């Protein structure tokens, strides 16, 4: 069987027990990216689900109206149906929300969504049977991925439209990606021997009435942003070397005086990366490069004792992203381990409660903040690139980092080096900055003014992942620019850790000795960033 389906679980990892209580952001990202973990429904969660399922059946039998189970949905809550119609109602709920638009969600997003939804339902408050979670886990076990359009959700009552595409596939309808092809779900289920889900009362509502699609984008964006913080520190260290900077700006004393955790971590990492550099020097050595003033009234220093803000303040900018990602992770950990559908069944109280846990406000706020912090990294790195390519500011490097040529050489005046790369970097940065418009404040009244205050979480989370992706492109252009500058400056003088990063980049992108296209270089370095290839170099 293809490695893209029914993947063998990794023997090096214990099974991931889905229980609705302790799914981590890290495990979610790992399953989304690799899907090599064995997945199992925790026995304790299975018992909780059976208890609430039994309570649901008992309450249905009383004839009382239960929202979305024996009543219509949303504004139609005042229309009660008989218990005999409850299952058919769930199928119609799924069908009438199949109206998404836009690009298809990536495999990573779909895997994360399915895992998060399974985990939230396994918490045991939703009134669905364990078979619903098992069917969701079957999609991951066989890597059968529903085709899900990205657009159509306002984030309350949860991610109704995108989650409906997953619910539809569980019933054996709709399209899936399987073994590299888009196929009909029913056909793939038959091939794998999987039984479609036959929805019972509440099943459809429990599957679609939650924040799992928004949360999937959010956890992936947050994980990528955390990695970007380290890459931005690497970029800054390499730029500092290329510009003959002062690594005293990253001294612990300075940052302990303003001890934001992310700022401290960023400064410490940059300092470590530059520890043995012979280009970016300690403050004392920078001072020694200048002549003593003695009795003179004025002199022009040979080497500046203070670098521009985009170098000197880099820990402060990086620190904001690090600290934002930290609290975003904390919020998301709560969200992906929550019962975020409606209504919820209280076994101890023997009753059912209607509420609004589908509201994705924490996801939206976290992602609006994360994308702003990430875009500021793009702005920071873009400024550093401009310093590197501009002969007025690059401390003696060539204009646009071209290879020096004698004035009477044929090559003189023909080449423009990294001029185009700086233009591209500026354009991508502008697009990242544009994407920071907060989505959470654009609530729309929908569904006959029943959903009159909504979170916009899916839009905020999708925007955040888009912005982070753009910042990765900016970082790739920066790393290529810094490597070019350091080749001209003297790569042999780099610190050992920045030199290791330089060597890695040079395995994918050679020195630019004449004008040539560099789009493939950018793509290659973006892939390095996303793969985590720099992570070991950035570990203290």
- On whether the CB atoms of residues 208 and 91 are closer than 8 A, the answer is no
Per-residue 3-state assignment (H helix, E strand, C coil) for 206-249: HHHCCCHHHHHHHHHHHHHHHHHHHHHHHHHHHHHHHCCCEHHH
Encode 396-415 in three state secondary structure: CCCHHHCCCCCCCCCCCCCC
SS3 content of the chain, % helix, strand, coil (to 5): 55, 5, 40
Our measurement of the distance from residue 92's CA atom to the centroid of its chain's CA atoms, rounded to an integer in Å, reads 33
Cβ pair 203, 91 in contact under 8 A: no
Give the DSSP H or E segment for 16. strand 16-18
Q: Which of 287, 280, 278, 326 is nearest to 305 (CA)?
A: 287
The secondary structure element, H or E, covering residue 175 is: strand 175-178
CB 199 within 8 A of CB 87: yes
67 has catalytic annotation: yes
| CB contact at 8 A, 145 and 110 | yes
Bridge partners (DSSP) listed for residue 346: 351
Distance, in Å, from the CA atom of 168 to the CA atom of 176, rounded to the nearest integer, reads 10
Options 67, 165, 359, 502, the catalytic residue: 67
Burial of 322 (0-12, 13-18, 19+ CB in 10 A): buried
Tokens 């003014």 — which residue?
449
Cis peptide before 343 (omega within 30 of 0): yes
The answer to whether the beta carbons of residues 261 and 319 sit under 8 Å apart is yes
52 to each of 38, 201, 281, 351, 514, how far by Cα in Å? Answer: 26, 12, 65, 10, 69
Catalytic positions are 67
């Amino acid at each position: 069987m293809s490695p893209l389906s029914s993947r063998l679980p990794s023997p090096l990892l214990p099974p991931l027990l889905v229980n609705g209580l302790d799914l981590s952001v890290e495990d979610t990202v790992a399953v989304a990216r690799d899907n090599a973990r064995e997945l199992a429904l925790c026995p304790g969660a299975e018992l909780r689900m059976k208890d609430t399922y039994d309570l649901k059946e008992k309450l249905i039998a009383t004839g009382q109206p239960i929202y979305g189970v024996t009543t219509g949905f949303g504004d139609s809550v005042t229309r009660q149906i008989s218990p005999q119609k409850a299952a058919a109602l769930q199928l119609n709920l799924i069908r009438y929300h199949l109206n998404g638009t836009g690009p298809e969600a990536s495999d990573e997003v779909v895997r994360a969504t399915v895992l998060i939804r399974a985990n939230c339902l396994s918490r045991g408050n939703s009134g669905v049977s364990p078979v619903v979670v098992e069917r969701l886990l079957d999609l991951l076990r066989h890597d059968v991925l529903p085709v899900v359009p990205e657009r159509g959700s306002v984030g309350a009552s949860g991610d109704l439209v995108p989650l409906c595409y997953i619910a539809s596939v569980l019933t054996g309808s709709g399209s899936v990606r399987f073994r590299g092809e888009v196929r009909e779900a029913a056909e793939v289920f038959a091939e794998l021997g999987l039984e479609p889900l036959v929805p019972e009362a509440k099943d459809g509502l429990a599957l679609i009435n939650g924040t799992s699609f928004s949360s999937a984008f959010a956890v992936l964006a947050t994980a990528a942003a955390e990695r970007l913080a380290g890459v931005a520190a690497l970029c800054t260290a390499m730029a500092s070397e290329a510009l003959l900077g002062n690594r005293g700006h990253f001294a612990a004393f300075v940052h302990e005086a303003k001890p934001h955790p992310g700022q401290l971590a960023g400064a410490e990492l940059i300092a470590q990366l530059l520890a043995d550099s012979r280009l970016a020097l300690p403050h004392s050595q920078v001072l020694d490069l200048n002549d003593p003033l003695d009795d003179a009234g004025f002199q022009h220093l040979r080497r500046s004792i203070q670098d521009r803000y985009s170098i000197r303040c880099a820990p402060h900018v990086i620190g904001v992203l690090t600290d934002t990602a930290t609290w975003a992770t904390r919020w998301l950990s709560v969200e992906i381990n929550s019962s975020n559908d409606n209504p919820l069944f209280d076994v101890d109280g023997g009753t059912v409660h209607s509420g609004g846990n589908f509201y994705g406000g924490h996801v939206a706020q976290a992602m609006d903040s994360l994308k702003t912090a990430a875009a500021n990294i793009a702005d920071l790195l873009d400024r550093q690139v401009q310093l590197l390519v501009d002969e007025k500011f690059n401390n003696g490097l060539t204009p646009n980092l071209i290879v020096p040529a004698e004035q009477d050489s044929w090559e003189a005046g023909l080449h423009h080096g990294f001029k185009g790369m700086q233009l591209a970097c500026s354009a991508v940065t502008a697009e990242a900055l544009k994407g920071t418009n907060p989505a959470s404040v654009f609530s729309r009244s929908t569904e006959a003014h029943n959903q009159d205050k909504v979170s916009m979480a899916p839009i905020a989370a999708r925007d955040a992942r888009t912005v982070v992706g753009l910042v990765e492109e900016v970082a790739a252009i920066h790393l290529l620019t810094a490597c070019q500058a350091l080749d001209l400056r003297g790569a042999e003088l780099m610190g050992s850790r920045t030199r290791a990063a330089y060597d890695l980049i040079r395995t994918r992108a050679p020195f630019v000795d004449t004008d040539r296209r560099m789009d493939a270089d950018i793509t290659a370095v973006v892939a390095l960033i996303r793969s985590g290839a720099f992570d070991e170099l950035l570990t203290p």
